[in-house]
């Protein structure tokens, strides 16, 4: 079993949809239409991931997240929302949510966000790959110099993450823990920011990074087919790196170029109206 998931939403159709999509992926999925019902379930079951709407009957979504953090701090949290206010984003991030799941969402987006959330949950366990430990050890001095430069400045977290990612190439859990300790922040807050912004990555990348957008506008224009063609051409899965370290592949929710859908980005080059049949020709330019 991939893991246990609780869906909290006052719309039964959303819960049923999540169950239908996630169950075939190996997840154990349960649902609750009210926050208090969810609380009773959480008292009995140690869910790995809780996906909850912010607008809930009886108990506000932010209050529910606070309750979860107090009573079941090991659970990962993803927020379902249509149009989040800046205040709700701030409150949610401070409470250590992993990601947002915007309504309406495609099946592939739900799967992607869930997989990303479980990656972040596993990262908090403290287990580190040997190569990641080596990366950190050899670059620790540079990492500390970056942190020292920004730690006394307001809003230091994002600049530090950007600069450290430039040094290491990515932001593995051990690096996030160093940053959290030096900036006197909860590790959960650092994880939340890294997970929320698509320009941060917890995985190493190849010389050329290929990103396929699976946002709604792109998805309805055959983005899933494009992703399959890229996987086939490069011989890697999403999140993977080719053996020669030349290419890495990832998906994103939105690249801010919906008018160009479907969109593929290679490094900083944006390709719009991509034809799934011809996408390999685009990537071939970088070989």
DSSP 153-198: STT-HHHHHHHHHHHHSS--HHHHHHHHHHHT--HHHHHHHHHHST
Structural contact between residues 100 and 208, judged by C-beta atoms closer than 8 angstroms: no
pLDDT in tens, 175-229: 888 998 899 988 778 877 887 776 787 777 888 999 999 888 999 999 999 999 9
pLDDT in tens, 163-178: 999 888 888 877 888 9
Structural contact between residues 231 and 249, judged by C-beta atoms closer than 8 angstroms: yes
CATH of 208-284, one of 3.40.30.10, 3.10.290.20, 3.40.50.1980, 3.40.50.300: 3.40.30.10
Lowest-confidence region among 163-167, 178-182, 237-241, 245-249: 237-241
Closest CA to 210 of 258, 267, 261: 267
Structural contact between residues 72 and 47, judged by C-beta atoms closer than 8 angstroms: yes
What is the pLDDT at residue 276? 93
Sign of CA dihedral 35, 40, 43, 48: negative
CA distances (Å), origin 108, targets 1, 113, 256, 266: 19, 9, 18, 21
Instruction: Write the burial class of residue 110 (CB in 10 Å: 0-12 exposed, 13-18 middle, 19+ buried).
Output: buried
The rounded distance, in Å, linking the Cα atoms of 58 and 55 is 10
52 pLDDT above the threshold of 90:
yes
Lowest-confidence region among 36-45, 148-157, 182-191, 275-284: 182-191
- 0.95 cut: is pTM over it? no
Structural contact between residues 101 and 113, judged by C-beta atoms closer than 8 angstroms: yes
Sign of CA dihedral 51, 56, 59, 60: positive
CATH 3.40.50.300 assigned to domain 3-123? The reply is: no
């Amino acid at each position: 079993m991939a893991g246990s998931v609780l869906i909290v939403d006052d719309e039964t159709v959303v819960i049923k949809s999540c169950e239908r999509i996630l169950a075939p992926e190996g997840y154990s999925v349960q649902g609750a239409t009210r926050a208090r019902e969810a609380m009773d379930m959480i008292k009995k079951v140690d869910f790995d991931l809780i996906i909850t709407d912010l607008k809930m009957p009886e108990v506000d979504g932010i209050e529910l997240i606070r309750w979860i953090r107090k009573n079941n701090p090991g659970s990962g949290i993803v927020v379902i929302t249509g149009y989040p206010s800046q205040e709700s984003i701030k409150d949610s991030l401070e409470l250590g949510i992993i990601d947002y799941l915007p309504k309406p969402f495609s099946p592939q987006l739900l799967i992607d966000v869930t997989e990303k959330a479980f990656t972040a949950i596993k990262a908090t366990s403290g287990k580190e790959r040997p190569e990641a430990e080596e990366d950190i050890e050899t670059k620790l001095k540079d990492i500390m110099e970056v942190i020292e430069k920004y730690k006394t400045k307001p809003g230091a977290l994002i600049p530090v993450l950007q600069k450290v990612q430039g040094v290491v190439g990515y932001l593995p859990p051990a690096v996030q823990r160093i940053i959290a300790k030096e900036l006197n922040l909860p590790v959960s807050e650092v994880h939340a920011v890294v997970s929320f912004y698509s320009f941060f990555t917890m995985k190493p990348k190849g010389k050329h990074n290929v990103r396929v957008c699976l946002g709604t506008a792109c998805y309805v224009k055959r983005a899933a087919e494009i992703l399959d063609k890229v996987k086939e051409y490069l011989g890697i899965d999403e999140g993977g790196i080719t053996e020669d370290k030349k290419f890495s592949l990832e998906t994103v929710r939105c690249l801010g170029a919906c008018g160009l859908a479907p969109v593929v980005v290679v490094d900083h080059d944006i390709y719009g109206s991509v034809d799934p049949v011809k996408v390999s020709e685009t990537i071939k330019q970088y070989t």
